[in-house]
Amino acid sequence: MFQMLDDLTEPADHLALDEAILVANPSETERAQVAETDSWQILRVWEFSEPAVIAGRSSRIREEIDVDHCESTGIPIYRRCTGGASIVAGPGCLMYSVVLDQACHEGLRKIDAAHQYVMSRVLAAVRLQVPEATLQGICDLTWQNRKCSGNSLRVTRDRVLYHGTLLYDFDLTMLSRCLLHAPRQPEYRAGRKHDAFVTNVPADPQKLAEHLLDVFGVIGSVNAVDLLPEIKELRQQRYDSHQWNYRH
């Protein structure tokens, strides 16, 4: 597995990069590296430089997001290519993205297997700093019975994109301001509002990133610069498009 290096700053670039990695045909340089492992598998750990609301692929915007508040305060709304409910992210919310090769992992077409493969490793990385962290619901990471990580995925014929959040110093008041009551809730939430359900974990983000690289067995790196044409095209097609972001 390789680490994807990038210096992107705009939320739309990050969303486009995730999809570009998922559908990428590696460059000749990358193919030479990939040949050592016979797979195109990528991990990247990153963070939005500014707050943004990210809707799931099928999210109904006005049922999940306080659109009026976001638009009046200049918080952008985007739609990602994976499923799940809408989230708010920004500084203090570490993000990770994993692209796995189906040929290397038997059974990952089954959603439960994909959750187990990725989240067992994310949990192991977090527990190196927060030993009490646990998994609850389908794929939530929790600490003291409060959610600190949400995740979503997309499965294609050849690959799996799995990405999620790790809250360590995020302004949690943004959740209740930007999001409406969640349309789908895990049983352990017990009807709690956002501010009583979600929490930051006491973890150093740099160490979290390093531990994620370790548990996923990252052996090298590739540079996102080779995917800039694909990122630009995907932004034009989707992530800069009001029709895509507000389509539901």
List pLDDT tens digits, range 118-127: 999 999 999 9
Q: Is the dihedral of CA 169, 53, 48, 149 positive or negative?
A: positive
Q: What distance in Å separates the CA atoms of residue 220 and residue 223, rounded to the nearest whole number?
A: 11
Q: Is the dihedral of CA 31, 33, 39, 41 positive or negative?
A: negative
The confidence score (pLDDT) of residue 29 equals 46
Res. 227 pLDDT band, cuts 50 70 90: very high
CATH number at residue 116: 3.30.930.10
Q: What distance in Å separates the CA atoms of residue 154 and residue 159, rounded to the nearest whole number?
A: 9
The 10 Å CB-count burial string (b at 16+, else e) for 176-208 is: bebbeebeeeeeebeeeebeebbbbbebeeeeb
pTM of the model: 0.92
List C-alpha distances in Å: 222 to 28, 118, 192, 200: 12, 21, 42, 30
Distance, CA of 230 to chain centre: 19
pLDDT averaged over the chain?
93
Q: How many domains does the chain have?
A: 1
The confidence score (pLDDT) of residue 181 equals 81
3-state secondary structure of 129: coil
The confidence score (pLDDT) of residue 61 equals 95
> What residue numbers bound the domain in which 207 lies?
2-245
Q: Is the pLDDT of residue 236 over 90?
A: yes
